[in-house]
Amino acid sequence: MGVVTKEQLAGMSYEDFIQIFGNVIEHCAICSAAVWAKRPFYNLKELHSAICTFVDELPKIGREGILRLHPDLAGRIAELGRLTSESSKEQLSAGLNDITVEEKSVLQALNDRYKSKFGFPFVICARENKKQAILSGIAARVENDKDVELATGIAEVKKIAFYRLLDIVEHSDEEAKL
């Protein structure tokens, strides 16, 4: 269960709202800062829906920018221990801490190819995918074209946001279904 009650969610100052929901989209506090204008939200699905709508209404380069603000999976930022707490937890849940030297080398080579082709990193919801699914996912997705990968990456971002909201806002079992 989350720590913010539905009553708190419905009546929050923008300062508290940004403080609490600022990293629901990785490094994109503007998403929560913007959708505060659409308050009140009575449950996490309403808030998630508002965030998704805002993301969809960004200029295309804005959606690309969202992907560029995501860290590489098992990449340099993770090695330096400088991931956001949310990303760190997600990469851990996917088993990326147990990656072998060989797997890491494969993942990094594929991600370099992916970034070089698309101009943004491979983004996948690590809570729904374990290490092997991530490795096979990037190998398949790097063959797509850019528009497909922008749409796919953004769909993953929305799933990541949903799970992050689940960690923050109290919810019923029904509301916990994506």
20 binds its own copies (CB under 8 A): no
62 binds its own copies (CB under 8 A): yes
Active site residue 70: yes
Minimum distance from residue 127 beta carbon to its own copies (Å): 23
95 binds its own copies (CB under 8 A): no
Q: Which is nearest to 51 in space by CA: 161, 175, 153, 168?
A: 161
Q: Is the peptide bond before 71 cis (omega within 30 degrees of 0)?
A: no
59 binds its own copies (CB under 8 A): yes
47 binds its own copies (CB under 8 A): no
Q: How far apart are the first and last CA of the chain?
A: 15
* Nearer residue to its own copies within complex by CB, 58 or 133: 58
Q: For residue 141, what is the enclosing H or E element? A: helix 131-141
Question: Cα(157)–Cα(162) distance, rounded to whole angstroms?
Answer: 9
* Nearer residue to its own copies within complex by CB, 58 or 106: 58
Q: Which residues are catalytic?
A: 70
